[in-house]
Amino acid sequence: MLKKVLSKKGFRFGGLFCIIAISVSFLSCGEKAAADTGNVALPAALTDTGPLPRDTTPPVEVAPAPQRFTIIGVGDMMLGTNYPSASYLPPNGGRDLLAEVRGLLSSADITFGNLEGTILDKGGTAKRCNNPSACYVFRSPENYVQHFADAGFDFLSIANNHSGDFGAAGRERTKAKLKEAGIAFAGLAGTDEYAVVERDGVKYGMCAFAPNSGTSSILDLAKARQIVSKLAAECDIVLVSFHGGAEGASHQNVPRRSETYYGENRGDVYKFSHAVIDAGADIVFGHGPHVTRAMELYKGRLICYSLGNFCTYGRFSLNGPAGFAPIVSVTVGRDGAFQEGQVTPIYQQKAHGPKIDSQKRAIRTLIELTQADFPETELLITQEGKLTTKK
């Protein structure tokens, strides 16, 4: 029996040995075969490390982003007068007048406004008023010029009926203080008809016109075209300002003809604006009526026919539509062509400077007047004050 068992066990061991031997032999053969394949030459297409064929697909060209420049325009400014009494000056030396809009004004590449009156502490010869009920004389303290500089103003128009309020002395001192503050100005016939400033390699030119004595005349279209053409040849972007048109709530529409007010020819602002754009102007900022007027696009250039009262402390009437106005931000290309814009509505009262108007009265007024006066314009003004072109 034991012999049977051993005989069985011996068979199993022998069988197992044979199986192991066969497996080892198979694996050895496999390794050898694998090793042998390393000596077999591969096709040339798989071993060639030469240069790949040249890619003849043309590269995709990405157009550079269009250049964009932002110009802000506001209307009439007179920050307080020490004539005929210092009681007409604002508290805290006028430092708070522009506080609420200072950040917006200084955010633009170029900021423009109309300076009503003169800048000097004392002296000069006050102009005589034939009609005191319709005539005012303004003289702001010299340190007030810093308020304009702090708000980022680059250009100020001095072409208006108040730049000569204190005669030659007033004008000379005003110009001297503006120069000290680094603010360019224009609008005086024969001496300061235009100004040029350069910002980040871009040249901006500005000229200003009015119907008043000593200013570059809004009535002389040939001379206006000449000045604008000169600027257009020298500058990338040209701004034109005018002080014209009749005043008040009953004169908010643009009549497309000459306007007379208190016996004075205040110019044909429609004809003037088109003429200066034909000559090379890129933006036209109007003021003078002391109320908001319509806008239009002409040859792809924006015209604002009146930006109203922006910051006029103490001596200006702010009743009704004279108490609110737009801040207009215009985005243009390097060629000056209109791209888009934004209106920020403000209001002011006797006791304070411009504040953001939650009622958006200036925007509503602009929409209504633009639809009435220029139904053909390509300009679209949204309820939120966005300026675009009609699709």
Q: What single string gives the DSSP state of each residue in 79-111?
A: ----SS-GGGSPGGGGTTTTTTTHHHHTTSSEE
**CB-CB contact of 241 with 112 (8 Å):** yes
d(CA 77, CA 325): 12
How far, in Å, are 305, 363, 371, 379 from residue 367 at the CA level? 13, 6, 6, 10
d(CA 319, CA 75): 16
The pLDDT value recorded for residue 129 is 78
H helix intervals, the chain: 2-37, 44-47, 102-105, 145-150, 167-180, 221-234, 269-278, 361-373
d(CA 60, CA 313): 58
Question: pTM above the 0.75 mark?
Answer: yes
d(CA 279, CA 205): 13
Amino acid residing at 185? F
Domains and CATH numbers, the chain: 69-389 (3.60.21.10)
Q: Please, how many CA atoms are within 13 Å of residue 42, restricted to the half-sphere of its CB?
A: 6
d(CA 324, CA 361): 7
The tokens 């040209």 sit on which residue? 238
The pLDDT value recorded for residue 140 is 97
The pLDDT value recorded for residue 365 is 98
**CB-CB contact of 183 with 149 (8 Å):** yes
- pLDDT tens for the 391 residues of the chain, in order: 333 333 333 433 344 333 334 343 433 444 444 444 444 444 444 445 556 666 677 777 776 777 999 999 999 999 999 998 999 999 999 999 999 999 999 999 999 999 999 999 999 999 987 776 667 899 999 999 999 999 999 999 999 999 999 999 999 999 999 999 999 999 999 999 999 999 999 999 999 999 999 999 999 999 999 999 999 999 999 999 999 999 999 999 999 999 999 899 999 999 999 999 999 999 999 999 999 999 999 999 999 999 999 999 988 999 999 999 999 999 999 999 999 999 999 999 988 999 999 999 999 999 999 999 999 999 999 999 999 999 7
d(CA 254, CA 375): 12
d(CA 204, CA 225): 17
d(CA 2, CA 7): 8
The tokens 């004004």 sit on which residue? 105
- The closest of 144, 153, 142 to 182, measured between CA atoms, is 153
d(CA 208, CA 331): 21
